[in-house]
Structure 1
Amino acid sequence: MKIGIDAIAMDTPDFYVDLVKLAQVRGDDPDKYTIGIGQDEQAVPPSSQDIVTMGANAATKLLTPAIRASLGMVLVGTESGVDASKSSALFIHDLLALPEWVRAVELKEACYGGTAALMMARDYIAAHPDKTVLVIAADIARYGLATAGEVTQGAGAVAMLIKAEPHIMTIEDDSVYRSESIDDFWRPVYQDTAIAQGKYSTEQYLAFFQAIWSRYQTQRHHTASDFAAMTFHLPYTKMGKKALKLVLPDTDEATGERLQRRFEASTRYCRRVGNIYTGSLYLGLLSLLDNDTSLKAGDRIGLFSYGSGAVAEFFSGILQPDFAAQLHAANHAKMLADRQELTVPEYEAVFSDKVPYDPEDYRSDPTYYHGQFVLTGVIGQERQYQQR
């Protein structure tokens, strides 16, 4: 039985900041951001947008009456949870008015959470082939204004339907994964900005990939030439490019050219949205599918997932005969094109207007409401969501 991605959609805030202009204000060479890091624009989420609203906005594009009736689980991978106890999946379940006879769970392991949800969904479908699982990978990356990590911030969500006999891509049973407790990146529960050991984290990302890729080739008997494309977790696009370079020395010229060309297609959305943690790998996959029309049914796509702390996994998927008909590239292009650019002072004001880590009531600014679902505030320590 084939199991995999039957439908996929994204959501990102209506606002962004141009990183060339940000570099100029910060006194940096713009090439440091656009070439050295590999980012052009960065999504800016107002306080009325969080992982719940973005996840619901992405998921609502996929839901039909038949899908609702077949749902068995709602899984949210995130490291931007809105509550230390209650699952963000339950808030999303409520906003989408989903059936009560489902499991609704949130999974956390840094940027790996979306892949953990995908693999849990795959296993569930293997045991319940008549069911569908809604997987959402949603996050907001925050490091602070004028910090070393500022250029790798971002916000967004990717929603996927996982089913038997999928229309877009199978998830093959060929995973190789690795776990090790390291301190390369973390976020204490009392703050909304992450702490990153940047150089060390990059080294670990690459070391995990190299070890897993070597083991994958030995165990699964696939080489780079078997892949039409490889996609990577993209905290920033240059990171994935460094990983791909570890593969290229052992490939022939045609394979190397193909992988590099399609890697660039996989980075287009990330270059404009920024880092969305658990969703970054799947934003890259969606970018590849939307932007490379030379892909064909039967092509094998490699996916590398990395979550600091750290867990990593490499697996593959096979494109299905009618995959292109299931995509909505024009809608995604319009979503990005229609966003409003913020000046750097406006971006700084929006970034600083955040839901506080204290019991005081808070109301978000309606000026920045976006999408079908918004967070209107936190009243009496209860989050207030609204469908517009």
Structure 2
Amino acid sequence: MDVGIDRLGFYTPKKYIDIVELAEARDVDPNKFTIGIGQSKQAVPDVYQDAVTMAAEAADKVLDDDNRNDIGLVIVGTESSVDESKATSAFLMDLLDLPEDVRAFEIKEACYGATAGLQMAYNFVAMNPDKKALVIASDIARYGIKTPGEVTQGAGAVSMIVSQNPHILKLDNKSVYMSRNVGDFWRPTFSKTAFARGKYSNEIYVEFFTTLWKRFQEKYDMTAEDFDTMLFHIPYTKMGMKALRTLDGQIPAAHYDKLVEHYQKSIEFSRNVGNLYTGSLYLGLISYLVNGNVQPDEKLMLFSYGSGAVGEIYSAEVVAGFDKYLDSEFIKEELNNRQKISVPDYETIFSEELENAGITKLEDVHDKFYLSEIKESERLYKKVN
């Protein structure tokens, strides 16, 4: 029985800033941000948006009357959780009209959480082939105004419905993984922004990839030439290239050039959205499927990494006819129709938040799902009818 991704949905806030303008405001050479880091635009979430609302927006794009009642598992991977006790997935139950007979919970391990959820969903569907799983990656990457990590911020969510006989991506059930206690990135419970050792994190990322890639080849007797495309966790678009470059000179030049060409297609959306944390790898997948010259039955290698640290390499296969089940034009229109805001406006939004007893004015809402109020420190959400 084949198990994999049957539907893919994506959401990002409707506002963004231009990275050149951010560089100029920070008195930095724009090439450092646009070429050195590899970013062009950065999504800016509104005050009424958080991991819950973005998860709902992304999931709403893949749920319909035909699959909603088949959902038996709901997992949200996030490191932007809004509550230390209540899972993001619990808030989604009524927002998305989901059935009650599901397991719903949240996974946190930096940017790896959604991959853990996807692997759990695979096992769930394999054991319950009449059921489907909803896996969502939803995050707001925040480092702070005028910090070194500011250029790698972003926001958005990716949703995946996992089922038997999938229409988009078949998972091969081949993977290798590893975990270590690493101090490359962390966000204490008292802080709304992350702390990072940037150069060290880059080094660990590449080390995890090279170690896991060697193990994958040994375990499954496969090489880079067995894969048409390699997809990476991309908190900024030059990050994955650091790992891919380790293959330069180690594999035939023509195949390496092909992998680089496909990689460039996988980063087009991330370049214009920014860091999605748990969703970064899967936005890369969407970007490649939408922008690449994808052939039926293409073999993919996917590298997932979450600081702290957990890494995994697994393989998958593109399903023939996938384009009929992925609304590429809608996704491109969503990205093209966003509103550019100024750097000062972004700074204002960044510093604002809904306080306890605060209420969101409906006229300020430009999305379907929103944080409506905070009452007795409880976050309450609504859906625009």
TM-score (norm 2): 0.98
**Equivalent residues in 2 for 1:18-57 (5 A)?**
18-57=18-57
1:379 equivalent in alignment to 2:380 = no
**Cα separation, 2, equivalents of 1:130 and 1:366:** 40
Deviation of 1:152 after TM superposition, in Å, equals 0.4
**Cα separation, 1, equivalents of 2:117 and 2:89:** 12
8 A contact 1:58–1:159 mirrored in 2: yes
**Paired residue secondary structure (1:238):** helix
1:319 equivalent in alignment to 2:318 = yes
8 A contact 1:4–1:166 mirrored in 2: yes
Deviation of 1:248 after TM superposition, in Å, equals 2.6
1:127 equivalent in alignment to 2:127 = yes
**Cα separation, 2, equivalents of 1:244 and 1:289:** 19
1:256 equivalent in alignment to 2:256 = yes
**Cα separation, 2, equivalents of 1:366 and 1:262:** 42
Paired position in structure 1 for 2:100: 100
**Paired residue secondary structure (1:193):** coil
8 A contact 1:185–1:197 mirrored in 2: yes
What are the Cα deviations for residues 360-388 of structure 1, in whole angstroms up to 9, with x where unaligned? 32334656523210112312111121111
**Cα separation, 1, equivalents of 2:102 and 2:175:** 27
Deviation of 1:355 after TM superposition, in Å, equals 4.1
Deviation of 1:181 after TM superposition, in Å, equals 0.5
1:230 equivalent in alignment to 2:230 = yes
What are the Cα deviations for residues 33-82 of structure 1, in whole angstroms up to 9, with x where unaligned? 00000100000001211111111111111112221121111110000001
Paired position in structure 2 for 1:247: 247
Runs of 4+ aligned residues of structure 1 deviating over 6 Å after TM superposition are none
The one-letter code matched in structure 2 to 1:167 is H
Deviation of 1:188 after TM superposition, in Å, equals 0.6
Deviation of 1:180 after TM superposition, in Å, equals 0.3
Quick check: 195-204 or 347-356, which moved more?
Answer: 347-356
Paired position in structure 1 for 2:202: 202
**Cα separation, 2, equivalents of 1:272 and 1:246:** 26
Quick check: 202-211 or 324-333, which moved more?
Answer: 324-333
The one-letter code matched in structure 1 to 2:20 is V
What are the Cα deviations for residues 142-189 of structure 1, in whole angstroms up to 9, with x where unaligned? 000000000000000000000011011111111000000111101011
- Gapped regions of structure 1 (runs ≥ 5): none
Matched residues, percent identical? Answer: 48
8 A contact 1:133–1:161 mirrored in 2: yes
The one-letter code matched in structure 1 to 2:85 is S
8 A contact 1:13–1:370 mirrored in 2: no
The one-letter code matched in structure 1 to 2:373 is G
C-alpha change, 1:380 and 1:55, in structure 2 (3 Å) is same
The one-letter code matched in structure 1 to 2:313 is F
**Cα separation, 2, equivalents of 1:366 and 1:213:** 49
**Cα separation, 1, equivalents of 2:295 and 2:186:** 39
**Cα separation, 1, equivalents of 2:129 and 2:172:** 16
**Cα separation, 2, equivalents of 1:337 and 1:4:** 29
**Cα separation, 1, equivalents of 2:207 and 2:253:** 24
**Cα separation, 1, equivalents of 2:93 and 2:244:** 37
C-alpha change, 1:304 and 1:79, in structure 2 (3 Å) is same
8 A contact 1:82–1:88 mirrored in 2: yes
C-alpha change, 1:367 and 1:197, in structure 2 (3 Å) is farther
- Gapped regions of structure 2 (runs ≥ 5): none
TM-score (norm 1): 0.97
C-alpha change, 1:155 and 1:71, in structure 2 (3 Å) is same
Paired position in structure 2 for 1:329: 328
**Cα separation, 1, equivalents of 2:36 and 2:219:** 35
Paired position in structure 2 for 1:182: 182
**Paired residue secondary structure (2:67):** helix
The one-letter code matched in structure 2 to 1:377 is E
8 A contact 1:46–1:368 mirrored in 2: no
**Equivalent residues in 2 for 1:264-279 (5 A)?**
264-279=264-279
**Cα separation, 2, equivalents of 1:31 and 1:73:** 44
What are the Cα deviations for residues 107-134 of structure 1, in whole angstroms up to 9, with x where unaligned? 0100000000000000101100111000
**Cα separation, 2, equivalents of 1:198 and 1:367:** 40
Paired position in structure 2 for 1:304: 303
**Cα separation, 1, equivalents of 2:157 and 2:354:** 19
